[in-house]
Structure 1
């Protein structure tokens, strides 16, 4: 049996797959799911049984892509009108901000990830590159520098 060109499959079943995606997701997300469906299908198409129900196969892929995209959207941070002040930093202390801005980028980012976000050094190493030991060293160096450049009067 001769396999149909994939372009013909997209032309014939594309509208059906888009309707399925739109029924499950928001319109902007539906188009992404449609694209992801056909990207996955294009990769798997050469291995598809020539007697398979192509429409059902595509709808199954679309269903799974819609679930994946829905989960990703539900986990994404939601925009807010105003960021709540946690009080962990004194935003009105220009000397502190000047001292932080004077630090090398890696030290400043390491301190932010460690002391503001509470990330472990292993996660900081993944974000910034390098090892957990290097992140620990950058934090220690940053704190040491801050102790000399930002003296607080008790």
Structure 2
């Protein structure tokens, strides 16, 4: 491949991908254990390689260079996923008085949600599960505020009924 001062003809990039794609994907699949993530990381690796091809020396091992880029991307992705899981766990721990529902209750809740009319289900999901205000939900759903309030009230009542739980007026 001829690299002249950072400019790389597209056919050279295509050959680079063709020659090293399989090995890079195989490495990333083993390294991160997630095939879909590995394929995404391989694509990102080739994009980065395209941008940094001018930094590659004439005697460099291209496959090793690509694997280095891919490995660094996988570390970043795995760290990001770990931080996201930690944030989610912290959020769940901080949620006021909300414990994990019993699997049977979760299934009943999921069925009850599925039985709600679409707009009512969306209003309930936004206001009760998503912590949006009624006004925010009205804006998101492009519905009048009163309609959203009615949807939430009726939907909540149907969900409580489906779960066999009395409505707590407090």
State whether residues 107 and 138 of structure 1, in contact with CA within 8 Å, keep that contact through their aligned partners in structure 2. Answer: no
2:8 pairs, out of 3, 19, 31, with: 3
Shift of 1:105: 1.8
Instruction: Give runs of aligned pairs for residues 90-101 of structure 1, distance below 5 A.
Output: 91=108, 101=115
TM-score normalised to the size of structure 2?
A: 0.47
| Matches for 1:5-154 after TM superposition, within 5 Å | 5-26=12-33, 28=35, 29-38=37-46, 40-41=47-48, 45=50, 48-49=53-54, 51-52=56-57, 53=60, 55=62, 57-71=65-79, 75=84, 84-85=101-102, 91=108, 101=115, 104-115=117-128, 117-121=129-133, 125=137, 130-131=139-140, 137-143=146-152
Report SS of the residue matched to 2:54.
Answer: coil
Distance 1:64 1:146 in 2: 47
For 1:51 and 1:153, how far apart are their aligned partners in 2? 67
Instruction: Tell me, yes or no, if the aligned pair for 1:121 and 1:132 is still in contact at 8 Å.
Output: no
In structure 2, how many angstroms separate the alpha carbons of the residues matched to 1:22 and 1:45?
A: 21
- Secondary structure of 1:65's partner? helix
**Structure holding more helix per residue:** 2
Gaps of 5+ in 2: 89-99, 161-165
Q: Provide the C-alpha distance between the structure 2 equivalents of 1:73 and 1:132, rounded to a whole number of angstroms.
A: 30
CA RMSD for the aligned pairs? 5.1
Q: Secondary structure at the match of 1:49?
A: helix
State TM-score, norm by structure 1: 0.50
Aligned residues: 134
Q: Aligned equivalents of 2:44 and 2:148: distance in 1?
A: 41
**8 Å contact from structure 1 (residues 110, 138) kept in 2:** no
